[in-house]
Structure 1
Amino acid sequence: MRRLIIPILFLLALPPTLAFKQDFTEPVQLDWETYFKGKPDMNSPFYALTAMTWKYSYESTTYRNRVVINLKNEVTIDKNRSWVKWDKIKDPEVRASLLHHEQGHANIQYILLSEAERVLKNRNYSVKNYKAQISQLANEISDYFDTMQRNYDEETEHGSNHKMQGRWDKIIEDKMTESRAAMLETQK
């Protein structure tokens, strides 16, 4: 069995989650008390840090000159490495706004999970170099979503630009809808 772990650490003005369920129906719904147990970095300019990891592994079978993979795919949020500066978010409106922004990060990871499931399972791999092909695809998926996470933070100014946050909320919701539809299509 081949196993690759791609750590994704986001230095955010807010935090994300635990393990996403393998059924891909919905992303984890965040709350401050459950997911932000780590000790805050007081030197960080951010109000929180979210530590998320995407892991995948697979077993492969060759059948008639074709490689079929059985994929295990998950996202976890390390709640002991994720933290929040409680003294900076005492106002209930600020807390809610920050948590909403962080939910966007968790939702982006849900999209990554769904897309990785769809893309990695639905490829024709060469018997000779399927391991390299899978690794390359996984790296491309990871790079794409790392960039999306960075753009989300930069454009929303870590959730403080409410107009851009609203635009990103729509982008994320549309991508989640697309991912759900694509997953349902591949399951037929």
Structure 2
Amino acid sequence: MKKLLIAFFIFAFPIIALCQSFTQPVQLNWETYYKGKPTPGSPFYALTAMTWHYSYESTVYRNKVVIKLKNEVNIDKGRSWVRWDKIQNESIRASLLHHEQGHVNIQFILLMEADRVLKNRTYSVQNYKAEIAEMANSISDFYDTMQKNYDEETEHGSNHKMQARWDDIIQEKMEEATANQ
């Protein structure tokens, strides 16, 4: 049996926070997920640290690779922080948390897609480790780009028109991801 572990970190304002099941993304709140101290000099109002881990056990049966996948996303609460002095207004807090939830939902989509793709692929006996790693890296890169586009296009949640557009996109992708499971 072989095991492989990969960690995926995202740090930016406002980025991801979650520890979730396969049924729905975690619903964020400031008190639970933001325990760290703000990075001095950071221009951001919040930072959420998250890791994506996958590992697998593999067996070869009749010249076919079968993998048992473990796939999870976790919040690093100690490295996630918020600048309370910058978000004292309740509507700003709610808006920022809503934007953060969008990041969580994108990571939920990543989790579901990684689970679907990595489990349902046919791998070669000779090269399956590299094939799994390549596919996982490709999925990670795709969703990292999606996270960056989300922040850029919504201007970190401050462009409400684009935030609403992204809310629709994310909801649609979440429905697709859960329908494919």
For normalisation by structure 2, the TM-score amounts to 0.97
Give per-residue Cα distances to partners, 1:70-97, cap 9 Å, x unaligned.
Answer: 0000001101000000000000000000
Give per-residue Cα distances to partners, 1:9-40, cap 9 Å, x unaligned.
Answer: 2211x35434212xx11001000000000000
Which residue is 1:3 aligned to? Answer: 4
Which residue is 2:55 aligned to? Answer: 57
Which residue is 1:186 aligned to? Answer: none
Which residue is 1:84 aligned to? Answer: 82
Using the alignment, how far apart are the partners of 1:118 and 1:133 within structure 2?
Answer: 15
Which residue is 2:27 aligned to? Answer: 29
Superposition deviation, residue 7 in structure 1 = 2.4
Using the alignment, how far apart are the partners of 2:177 and 2:165 within structure 1?
Answer: 18
More strand by share: 1
Which residue is 2:17 aligned to? Answer: 17
Using the alignment, how far apart are the partners of 2:15 and 2:90 within structure 1?
Answer: 16
Using the alignment, how far apart are the partners of 2:40 and 2:73 within structure 1?
Answer: 27
Using the alignment, how far apart are the partners of 2:23 and 2:90 within structure 1?
Answer: 30
Q: Secondary structure at the match of 1:11?
A: coil
Code of the residue aligned with 1:85 in structure 2: it is R
Aligned residues of 2:3 and 2:57 also touching (Cα < 8 A): yes
Which residue is 1:132 aligned to? Answer: 130
Using the alignment, how far apart are the partners of 1:178 and 1:42 within structure 2?
Answer: 40
Structure 1: which 5+ residue stretches go unaligned? 184-188
Which residue is 1:73 aligned to? Answer: 71
Code of the residue aligned with 1:19 in structure 2: it is C
Q: Secondary structure at the match of 2:157?
A: coil
Aligned residues of 2:19 and 2:75 also touching (Cα < 8 A): yes
What percent of counterpart residues are identical?
68
Q: Secondary structure at the match of 1:2?
A: coil
Moved over 3 A (4+): none
Q: Secondary structure at the match of 1:67?
A: strand
* Alignment size in residue pairs: 180
Q: Secondary structure at the match of 1:44?
A: coil
Aligned residues of 1:16 and 1:35 also touching (Cα < 8 A): no
Which residue is 1:153 aligned to? Answer: 151
Using the alignment, how far apart are the partners of 2:57 and 2:156 within structure 1?
Answer: 39
Code of the residue aligned with 2:58 in structure 1: it is S
Q: Quote the RMSD (CA, aligned, Å).
A: 0.9
Structure 2: which 5+ residue stretches go unaligned? none
Aligned residues of 1:15 and 1:84 also touching (Cα < 8 A): no
